[in-house]
Chain A
Amino acid sequence: MELTTYTALIVLLPLLGYLLLGLFGKKIFGNSSGLVGTALLLVTTILSFYVAYTYFFVLGNVNGVYQAIKPLQFTWLEFSPGMSIDMGLLLDPISCMMLVVVSFVSLMVHIYSLGYMKGEERYPTYYAHLALFTFSMLGLVLSTNIFQIYMFWELVGVSSFLLIGFYYNKASALAAAKKAFIVTRFADLGFLIGILVLSFYSNTLDISTLIQRLTSPDGNEMKTAVAASFMGLSALTWGLLLVFMGGAGKSAMFPLHIWLPDAMEGPTPVSALIHAATMVVAGVYLVARLFPVFSMSPIVLDFIAYVGAFSALFAAIIACTQTDIKRVLAYSTMSQIGYMMFALGVSGNTSETGLGFTASMFHLFTHAMFKALLFLGAGAVIHYVHSNEMKDMGGLRKKMPITHLTFLIACLAIAGVPLLSGFFSKEEILLAAYQKNMLIYGIALFTSGLTAFYMFRLYFNIFWSKPYESAHESHHGEGGFVMMLPLVLLAIGAAFAGYIPFGKYVSFNGEAHEGHMDIMFSIAPVALAIAGIGLAIFLYKKENEKPGNISAILGALYNSAYHKFYIDEIYLFITKKVLFNVIARPAAWFDKNIIDGMVNMAGDSTVWISGKIKGIQSGKVQQYALYFMAGIIGLVLLLVYVWK
């Protein structure tokens, strides 16, 4: 079956790229390793588009409902009958959509990096890591088994770690890599326990079986999972909360978001690929993958909705105050993922309430386009001015016309200006929230205004504000064809992705979901977006005193937002002061004194006893003979008088 071959190749080609470049990159490929990696990924991308096309238009749709297809599945490790870790490939609407997103954005980043990373010392290694990441991410979205997801989940974590710490001689990059790894690992602990809880009650690790068993209210598995309770919540709820914890860690939801802004220490194309478009939406994807089970527990859905909405607002406020352009984008990413999360949270599992699911996936799709574009644009700017700080920029619109134009398109898209992609997906999310929960709708509406404001603050600070003056005139211009091509392609995506009739293809149950657009409903968000843009024009178009005055007036609020609401400091306090002093130190003492003490005692007592009896082995032959003689006499006496 050719579909099997193609789908398997989609995953295996990047793996091949990783092995080739990782093993032979430095010695054989050298400066051509970028081209090798890009060529392999081009094939992968074409195959992905082909497979997605085949699924959506030829094979997937049976009587108006999209069915999941498993072109490949084999048992990798069996624990007991029915309970096995399988490796397989799963094609369904969301995995096909993710295939397109991941491979397309990855290809753009590969091409872009040909220019951006040119001349780097570890150029082959960079492409090897990119290939590893692409492999893991594609494997993750195609997984049929929840444990398979977990493995690839960890693999994307590792490749993210490797790429954040790519500039390994920079202390801040190392710290950021460690932070990202530890924070997401901590969240993954919850994920693992959640997997174990869910699989314990459903007695399977296979996703489709698990969903089927945990969604039929009459089934035995469902009954026991709901009946078992711990601290007032059912086992099912606990399992789902823990799985969501894993998703929240990967997707940088409050309070596990602290690694994402620091992750910007990696090369900018990496930020575009991993920390904006693909890996960070893995959490959203995970919740969507298990959505039928999540929808059985309203508590968890509400929790997801509130966490998502709060993260969206929280990150948007911080984004308004940051001056490092990549950090602004990082917080913006967190905010937009918050949108996707709460869209899932307000979704239900009936055709009337299922809008949120479609909206979330739709936003994931459009967000990947415009956010990757924003990051790549920011990369071009950083490449040009050699700085991440807004104060070193300004007035770049004449120097970098293509970057300027594409960046503007992305800003308009993310702000939700009508007719661009972000508008459509955001409207759907707002509509879904409006139908379910007014509080979340209010937060989302306010956040969308903030989004427009901070994006245009960024835009004006980079491209307008003051005329550009620099001591060193940039020697390489905008970055050449390889850097501009991805920008243009992504800009096309960011502008027109919204016209895809998404509800027709992606919905929680596979049936076409008719999203309806109401002009009246759009007035409020669009007005807010325009107000946000207007405010940004007013404050930042020309360099002036106003922003400084406003931040002075806001005082404490501005300061705490500028310091990211001191979440990092709170974490440091908790880990250093509380965890280290209260738990780690006693544990270390216990380990040093009790555990080591027991081991030492065993050794010491052996030494002591042997010291006492070693005199027997004196090296004197006649003494040995005496013992021997005494033994014989003893034996004789024993045999003659005792055991007659």
Chain B
Amino acid sequence: MIPGLYHILTLSTVLFFIGVYGFFTRRNLITMLMSIELILNSVNLNFIAFNKYVWPNKLDGVFFTIFIIAIAAAEAAVAIAIIINLYRNHHSIDVEDAGEMKY
């Protein structure tokens, strides 16, 4: 069986919800960051798949994907910097421990 658009969309949906699930349930910030990467990659898959199967003559989807990868890299750098700072202040990277910014 040759994988078609539907298979890829199913895969990306699954990936997306795994990411969302991870983001909501994990308390470790690194894991949450990884979940976000999963979500982003599911979106990337969507772009690629639609580009290939719906408009094979165009490159828009590929470019979007490349941009998203670049932004994800930058975001990962920033997020990790935040996490390091948080660790220095709280000696923990548990998201529950960083609750000062409330009412």
Q: Which of A194-202, A335-343, A615-623 contacts B (4 or more CB under 8 A)?
A: A615-623
Instruction: Determine whether the beta carbon of B23 is less than 8 Å from that of A620.
Output: no
A621 to B103, CA, bound (A): 13
Query: Is B98 positioned at the interface, with any CB of A under 8 Å from its CB?
Result: yes
16 A-B pairs whose Cβ atoms sit less than 8 Å apart in the complex: A615-B103, A617-B103, A618-B99, A618-B102, A618-B103, A619-B99, A619-B100, A619-B102, A619-B103, A620-B96, A620-B99, A620-B102, A621-B95, A622-B32, A625-B23, A629-B20
Instruction: Give the residues in chain A near B20, CB-CB below 8 Å.
Output: 629
Contact of A622 among B23, B100, B103 (CB under 8 A): B23
Interface residues on A, range: 10 to 19
A586 to B64, CA, bound (A): 74
Instruction: Determine whether the beta carbon of B24 is less than 8 Å from that of A625.
Output: yes
Instruction: Give the residues in chain A near B23, CB-CB below 8 Å.
Output: 622, 625
Q: Sorted from nearest, which 8 A-B pairs have the closest CB atoms?
A: A619-B102, A619-B99, A614-B103, A617-B103, A619-B101, A618-B102, A621-B95, A617-B102
| Minimal Cβ-Cβ distance residue in B for A613 | B103
A161 to B20, CA, bound (A): 79
Instruction: Give the residues in chain B near A621, CB-CB below 8 Å.
Output: 95, 98
A625 to B39, CA, bound (A): 14
Instruction: Determine whether the beta carbon of A622 is less than 8 Å from that of B98.
Output: no
CB distance from B79 to the nearest CB of A (A): 12
CB distance from B22 to the nearest CB of A (A): 11
A592 to B23, CA, bound (A): 54
Query: Is A626 positioned at the interface, with any CB of B under 8 Å from its CB?
Result: yes
A619 to B98, CA, bound (A): 8
CB distance from B42 to the nearest CB of A (A): 15
A620 to B100, CA, bound (A): 9
Q: Which of A595-644 contact B (CB under 8 A)?
A: 614-615, 617-622, 625-626, 629
A621 to B101, CA, bound (A): 10
Instruction: Determine whether the beta carbon of A622 is less than 8 Å from that of B95.
Output: yes
Total inter-chain residue pairs, C-beta < 8 Å: 28
Instruction: Give the residues in chain A near B101, CB-CB below 8 Å.
Output: 619
CB distance from B37 to the nearest CB of A (A): 15
13 other contacts beyond A618-B102, A620-B95, with CB at 8 A cut-off? Answer: A615-B103, A618-B103, A619-B101, A619-B102, A620-B96, A620-B99, A620-B102, A621-B95, A622-B23, A622-B24, A626-B24, A629-B20, A629-B24
CB distance from B98 to the nearest CB of A (A): 7
| Minimal Cβ-Cβ distance residue in B for A622 | B24
A617 to B103, CA, bound (A): 6
CB distance from B97 to the nearest CB of A (A): 11
A619 to B99, CA, bound (A): 5
A237 to B24, CA, bound (A): 85
A85 to B99, CA, bound (A): 65
| Minimal Cβ-Cβ distance residue in A for B23 | A625
Instruction: Give the residues in chain B near A615, CB-CB below 8 Å.
Output: 103
Instruction: Give the residues in chain B near A625, CB-CB below 8 Å.
Output: 23-24
Instruction: Give the residues in chain A near B24, CB-CB below 8 Å.
Output: 622, 625-626, 629
A614 to B96, CA, bound (A): 18
A642 to B24, CA, bound (A): 28
A492 to B96, CA, bound (A): 100
CB distance from A632 to the nearest CB of B (A): 11
CB distance from A54 to the nearest CB of B (A): 80
A446 to B67, CA, bound (A): 111
Instruction: Give the residues in chain A near B95, CB-CB below 8 Å.
Output: 620-622
Instruction: Give the residues in chain A near B100, CB-CB below 8 Å.
Output: 619
A622 to B102, CA, bound (A): 13
Instruction: Give the residues in chain B near A620, CB-CB below 8 Å.
Output: 95-96, 99, 102
Interface string of B18-36 (1 = CB under 8 A from A): 0010011000000010000
Q: Which of A1-40 contact B (CB under 8 A)?
A: none
CB distance from B96 to the nearest CB of A (A): 7
| Minimal Cβ-Cβ distance residue in A for B25 | A622
A619 to B102, CA, bound (A): 4
A626 to B24, CA, bound (A): 7
| Minimal Cβ-Cβ distance residue in B for A618 | B102
A614 to B103, CA, bound (A): 6
